[in-house]
């Protein structure tokens, strides 16, 4: 199985866990006294199923995490683990969020008469566009690499 497939399977298990938790919540209470015994038995079985799904999810999470740490990817002539590349992407996303917020703040402030903008908006837009392009490029590289790693 490729790492990308394992990630998709983990996401499917997460969705299954969420649905099962919702079902257990429904079974945990009843407005009808006649349903209490039935719901109690069904809830008990669903709890066992939930424990099994949690163990399976944990197994996938560990396998995926280990694979991301040991698997290498080349970015701008430097080699990083996939986990490191994902951290870089997260950091770049945070920087982009900050720049976009700053741009919105300045543009809104610029609409107010008698106010002066002290930063170059074109420069900020350029920086934001460069970060967006880098995020897209690194994200594509990471995504491609997930289909080349067997776990």
| Cross-strand partners of 34 | none
- Assess whether 60 and 92 both reside in one domain: no
The model scores a pTM over 0.85 = no
CA distance 110 to 108: 5
- Assess whether 62 and 90 both reside in one domain: no
Residue 33, pLDDT score: 85
- Assess whether 9 and 24 both reside in one domain: yes
Query: Which domain does 43 fall in, by range?
Result: 1-70
Domain boundary among 39, 70, 101: 70
Six-digit token string for 2: 């490729």
Domain boundary among 70, 100, 128: 70
Six-digit token string for 131: 């970060």
Residue the block writes with tokens 């107010």: 112
User: Using N-to-C axis directions, what is the helix angle for 82-110 and 36-70, rounded to 10°?
Assistant: 100
- Assess whether 112 and 129 both reside in one domain: yes
Give pLDDT tens digits along the chain (151 positions). 999 999 999 999 999 999 999 999 999 998 888 889 899 999 999 999 999 999 999 999 999 999 999 999 998 899 999 999 999 999 999 999 999 999 999 888 777 777 777 888 899 999 999 999 999 999 999 999 999 999 9
- Assess whether 1 and 66 both reside in one domain: yes
Residue 66, pLDDT score: 96
Tally the domains of the chain.
Answer: 2
Torsion angle of alpha carbons 14, 18, 24, 27, nearest 10°?
-150
- Assess whether 105 and 66 both reside in one domain: no
């Amino acid at each position: 199985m490729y790492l990308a497939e394992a990630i998709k399977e983990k996401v499917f298990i997460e969705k299954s866990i969420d649905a099962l938790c919702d079902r257990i919540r429904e079974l945990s209470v009843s407005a009808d006294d006649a349903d209490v015994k039935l719901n109690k038995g069904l809830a008990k079985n669903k709890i066992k199923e939930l424990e099994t799904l949690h163990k399976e999810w944990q197994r996938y999470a560990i396998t995926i995490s280990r694979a991301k740490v040991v698997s290498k990817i080349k970015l701008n002539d430097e080699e990083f683990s996939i986990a490191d590349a994902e951290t870089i992407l997260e950091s770049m996303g945070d920087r982009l969020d900050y720049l976009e917020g700053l741009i919105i703040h300045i543009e809104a402030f610029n609409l107010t008469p008698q106010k002066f903008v002290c930063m170059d908006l074109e420069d900020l837009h350029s920086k934001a566009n460069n970060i967006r392009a880098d995020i897209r490029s690194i994200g594509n590289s990471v995504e491609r690499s997930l289909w080349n790693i067997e776990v």
